[in-house]
Amino acid sequence: MAIAALAACTPKQENPLMADSALPHGAPEFSKYESTHYEAAFLEAFKQQRAEIDAIVANTEAPTFDNTIGALERSGRLLSKVVGVFYNLNETDADATMKETEKNITPLMTEHSAYMTMNEPLFARIKAIYDNKANLSLTREQEMVLDKYYRTFVNGGALLNAEQKKQYMEIEKQLSLAMIKFGDNALAETNAYELLITDEKDLAGLPQSAIDAARELAQATGKEQGWLFNLQKPSWIPFLQYADNRDLRREMYLAYINRGDNNNANDNKAVIAEILKLRQQKAHLFGFDNFAQYQLEDKMAKTPEAAYDLLMTIWNAALPKAKAEAAELQKMMDAEGKGEKLEAWDWWYYTEKLRQQKYALSESELRPYFSLENVRKGSFMVAEKLFGVTFRPIEGLDIYHPEVETFEVLDSDGSHLALFYVDYFPRATKRAGAWMNNIVEPSNVDGENKRPMIVNVCNFTRPSGDTPSLLTIDEARTLFHEFGHALHGMLTQAKYPTVAGTNVARDFVELPSQIMEHWAIEPEVMKLYATHYQTGEPITDELIAKMQATSSFNSGFETVELVGAALLDMEYHMQDDYTTFEANAFEKSVADKIGLIPQIAFRYRGPYFNHVFNGGYAVGYYSYLWAEVLDADGFEAFKENGIFDEATGRNYRKNILEMGGSEEPMTLYKRFRGAEPNPEALLRNRGLIK
């Protein structure tokens, strides 16, 4: 479908997406945007940026950084605005019209991208600057921007011949649509399953908070009686942890891990095969043996082998611990005298029993201290102490859903840094997981200093009756994690959008998020924010001591399921022949190769592995572990100097958070830490070595 073919659209003056916002800082006016506005706004945005590109090409002056690269950075303002708003809503609150718009726009986005990257006169200007960059007195940030543009154009087909460019375009269109299909199927599968319990005996073992939440969910979905559980994490995790009914645990577990693998209309196995074949074709076009090589060329790891070696180092330390944990759980089951063998749907349940037996600690004891409001205040408090920023609720901003809250982020001198939106609870229109998005990208080209607008999206336990949202420790760490991404986006001082904020190498982007998780569970920090939601009393020293004692409890399981998924991702994309590929058989072959024990599944099986098949983490799931080497080592700097040490915090802000991608990642890290990271810090952090 050519862009010109979609002529019928809302007139420009009637479309609020094309108008300037009257809200503070130009914030989006969500209440004015209707689903029917987006397609027309995209078409106008494509048109405007094409005109800007044409003007760059038509410039008769010799190519310079400013009249070519700078001009590209200044182009596409409307498109950036529409993309920021549309794709955030499409993941959180989309309707059928928006989903149809996504399908219509996706091939047009491919065409538009190609209009830039396959534009020979434009690339000629970029190449002329790139080839002469040593003589241009560019700043280091400008060099990084130039290098990124050059790589983007080369990876986008600029050096391909005419026939190859045609093939590339077709591959990109098919790939984009296949990825959309994968995501739609995964969401439909998650929403399709419901476990309605009508016999109260089947609730045995569940904490009252989980029972109350299930009753409210049943009522909210029109069930006159019973308790409803679904495949949202706040529902299925406590069910597997506490429900005594083993048959129902089995049903819930299998429903969760078989999403997209039910041989129905939402089955993703064939979609996986299609995506992998298309990615391989793309890699071959560029002269690579496989997609993993193509994808990692400009990442910190550089090669699939380097990433794989790191994963196997961690795997080899974690697998024996996981096997020992399985044996301990089996011993507990044997003591019950039922003659049952440990299965995957038993792991959470007996792990929780073992936690209570060994440490007299259960998650239900901790939850009252981790209300969502307290945890969020704790994350804000850490940022204020370390980085000198404050978060002020702001009135008068438009929101896209009633549950969204908004804050203005202020620097220590009171100056405006960013707007921050939070969207914390599950709903049928929202995909699973947690993430950070730029609603508005930052830019300081020509001194305009347009500050970012950031959103954190999560799927936390909802409030229930008079009880506020009470988070598990895992959820509390998730909030701090996504807040770390938000800080990376909000505190950026990079001048050019292409390298601002989180626009960094995929295996570096998780450093700011993962390092923040450490503060969530530091005793000194918890004493300041973890207060009982009813009494206001701070978390007790006894509970903190128990938490510390359990810090490496179940770490074999947690590490194996995470590293296993990363290895699965690598294996998917390191193949050079998919002729006989079948998703389930391949997945089993990987599990067998690495020795994954049957009581543990990959954290994400292929048919619902959104990170890899409907996101930006293809050949990138390893980055969580790669970045954990950095975050574990980096946090030791704070432990050495004091976890609230202002000098260390300002050093980290200046050299990591503010810099974005304006320097090579390892250069930035060494500037902060003084040396390259020690990989053993990760193993120590996970309790895999002493």
Catalytic residues: 482
Taking the C-alpha atoms of residue 360 and residue 374, their distance in angstroms, rounded to an integer, is: 24
DSSP 11: -
First to last CA, the chain: 59
Tokens for 55, please give them. Answer: 């003007």
* Residue 568: closest CA among 308, 240, 227, 391: 308
For residue 131 the two structure tokens come to 């080839």
Are the CB atoms for 438 and 453 separated by under 8 Å?
yes
Q: Tell me the two tokens of residue 39.
A: 């397609």
Scored b (16 or more CB within 10 A) or e, 163-188 reads: eebebbbebbbbbbbbbbbbbbbbbe
Nearest Cα residue to 296 out of 36, 622, 514 = 622
> For residues 272 and 607, what is the distance between their CA atoms, to the nearest angstrom?
7
Contact predicate 173/110, CB 8 Å: yes
Helix (H, G, I), strand (E, B) or coil at 276: helix
DSSP letter (8 states) at residue 519:
H
Residue partners of 230: CB distance under 8 A and separation at least 6: 190, 191, 193, 194, 195, 217, 236
Distance CA 8, CA 40 (A): 8
Question: Which stretch of DSSP H or E encloses residue 457?
Answer: strand 453-457
For residue 443, the cross-strand partners are 450
Rounded Cα gap, residues 371 and 479, in angstroms: 12
Q: Which of 566, 576, 569 is nearest to 272 (CA)?
A: 569
| Contact residues for 125 (Cβ-Cβ < 8 A; gap 6+) | 56, 57, 63, 68
d(CA 306, CA 314): 13
- Transcribe 616-682 into DSSP letters: S-TTTTTHHHHHHHHHHHHHHHHHHH-TT-HHHHHHHIIIIITTTTSS-HHHHHHHHHSS---THHH
